[in-house]
Structure 1
């Protein structure tokens, strides 16, 4: 499933293709939304933004389309504007004179009044979105120091969208490595300095992944490995999905553990201090 950086990049692409352009045609696959097609035709989209793993599309009449890709949903914006050839099920299509955007396979699409967005059952449960322009460093740090989460295991907590939204499985392992913390502890077991490092890592790696298109590794390491003709999978991350490979920082073999049904990856030397 795409994580926050990928969803925000999708929102960026939708903004480029749709924002400020008059809609010439609109399509919903859902019967309950069909009556809204003619109402949206002729309007302009004013903004598209991500909220964790959902996307909000704002129309000029104060209507907002909420869409969540779940596991299989995907937006496609073909350069020629023609509908892509795919076996996926088309859910939404938005057309203007310059091009089109198509949403495939998503099962969760709704129209909301703008003033009801924050009351949506998914949105209202979210913690601060690490990549949202209104989120501050203090907002993220506050979560790590909150008593509300202190008894939660960090590996589970980092996947909880009510803690910090936009974090998924690859960012989880990368954040713990970058902060240099033991992944086996509860939040209350970390020192103040470690919590500060976790907050810093959460912001730094989320922003880095957004800016680079998915790379969380340090730029200096990436460039060095590229000069050695390393594959993308070898230089993209510090530890995620690198079981059995050497840590880029210390040379120790990367290990994995399963927690909550999903794998985490870590460097025993950099993170475990038994």
Structure 2
């Protein structure tokens, strides 16, 4: 499932290439025909993400709400220019640059992410090509006709004179009015890229500290904190050396505050680079390897049975909240 950084990157893509443009909306698959008819011919005026949900506002004050869920993805094509706030080098969106030790330096060399994670392998800007944005960003084939034919089961197509976005497989895709949007937002926990950081921290700590629920479940509860998915959950808990089974109300307030601040830190890296890079202070070849391959990017995620990078104990895999949880039974106690 796409985590918060991916959805923010998609929203920025819409803000850069669709906001201010009249949109032709359709449903090639047919399942969203009525909703598309409501949006067709209107100008997109705003694009924003909150946690794992994205909201596109049109000039008649209707909103398109999209939650990608487990299988959803947006495919873009056209004369696409990347958001300037998403680092670009050598014609790739999300390219993380390697000349220095900071993964957001302005100059660098090309790397390929062989794991396919929300990644450096994407698009030139601008050029006529297809590319996908979900949990991974991947380049596609060039095309010759405009607009390109829809590929697969496209729930909704948003088309301008120069760009097209095709949505496949979302969990939620609906047209809402402003009160309905507010009702959705009211159920979501704080998002570091949307809410005031101090207020967001206060809300997170206050909510989590009242719950008997294990902290490993609370971090995935979008009403407690927005945007954290399976990868960030495992990595945040390891970085805090926190047992995933600890009830929220048993976690010291200062540890909860540090969890929130670490989420602010990791989300910022994810949005700017397109990578869920959770190991700090990597330099040189180690940094290059981490940015090229997920296996070198994380402390515990997908490392079951492998020795902990700190203590050598084998990383454990279990199920928590119907999702896979990775953790170290020695360091996280």
Q: Name the CA distance, whole Å, in 1 between partners of 2:45 and 2:209.
A: 36
Q: Name the CA distance, whole Å, in 1 between partners of 2:36 and 2:243.
A: 51
Map Cα deviations across residues 163-199 of structure 1 (whole Å, 9 max, x no partner): 0011111111111111221222101222233222222
Aligned 1:175-254 pairs, distance under 5 A: 175-221=236-282, 223-226=284-287, 232-254=293-315
The one of the two structures with greater contact order (alpha-carbon pairs below 8 A, sep at least 6) is: 2
Measured after TM superposition, the shift of residue 162 of structure 1 is: 0.7
Deviates more, 1:201-210 or 1:94-103: 201-210
Say whether residues 1:161 and 2:222 are aligned partners. yes
The aligned residue for residue 53 of structure 1 is 52
Measured after TM superposition, the shift of residue 245 of structure 1 is: 2.9
Q: TM-score, normalised by structure 1?
A: 0.84
Deviates more, 1:137-146 or 1:44-53: 137-146
Measured after TM superposition, the shift of residue 61 of structure 1 is: 2.2
**Structure 2: runs of 5 or more not aligned:** 79-127, 129-145
The aligned residue for residue 36 of structure 1 is 38
Measured after TM superposition, the shift of residue 22 of structure 1 is: 2.6
Say whether residues 1:71 and 2:70 are aligned partners. yes
Q: Name the CA distance, whole Å, in 2 between partners of 1:98 and 1:109.
A: 23
The aligned residue for residue 190 of structure 2 is 128
Q: Name the CA distance, whole Å, in 2 between partners of 1:102 and 1:230.
A: 28
**Structure 1: runs of 5 or more not aligned:** none
**Which structure shows the higher helix fraction?**
1
Map Cα deviations across residues 52-72 of structure 1 (whole Å, 9 max, x no partner): 222110112211111222222
The alignment of Structure 1 onto Structure 2 pairs a total of residues equal to 264
**Structure 1 pair 73/262, CA: closer, same or farther in 2 (3 Å)?**
closer
Q: Secondary structure at the match of 1:155?
A: helix
Q: TM-score, normalised by structure 2?
A: 0.71
Q: Name the CA distance, whole Å, in 1 between partners of 2:290 and 2:192.
A: 33
